[in-house]
A = this chain, B = another copy of it.
Amino acid sequence: MDVTKKERDCIVVIHENSSGFPLRLSDIASLMKVKPSTAYELLNRLLSKKIITKEKGMIMPTQYGNRVYSEIITAHRTMEILLTKSGVNRDIACSQMEKIDYLMDELSVEKILKQIGNPDKCPHGKPVKPV
């Protein structure tokens, strides 16, 4: 897994907005607040990294993409728990983690998670291990 910040944001946006029907480029462009041509480029990078697939304009994460998403989110939420346990406000912890979650090693995250007792939920009540 090796993604840039924008790729990370895009992966998260795709996952957090595909409840029901899949997204298309134009949806992603507006969710990410960029022009379609910018979204096109970004999605192309995700396509070539095999994180998403595109079929008839419908964008969906691949299995690998789901793993990448899960890894990012687990890092995000694990560290959020850690920060809030230290007294950091949960929303500050969240915005803080958005900047770094995608850069963390899976193994270190797993160890921290274990050390803090394998909680299932982040401070916002979302699952540390999403599907």
Interface residues of A (CB under 8 A from B): 82-83, 85-88, 92-93, 96, 99-100, 103-105, 107-108, 111-112, 114-116
Residues of B close to A96: CB separation below 8 A: 104-105, 108
Q: Oligomeric state, in number of copies?
A: 2
Q: A82-B82, A96-B108, A108-B96 are in contact. Are A115 and B103 (CB under 8 A)?
A: no
A86 touches B114 (CB 8 A): yes
Beyond known contacts A83-B108, A86-B112, A88-B107: 16 more, CB 8 A cutoff: A83-B111, A83-B112, A85-B115, A86-B108, A86-B111, A86-B115, A86-B116, A87-B111, A87-B115, A88-B112, A92-B108, A96-B104, A96-B108, A100-B100, A100-B103, A100-B104
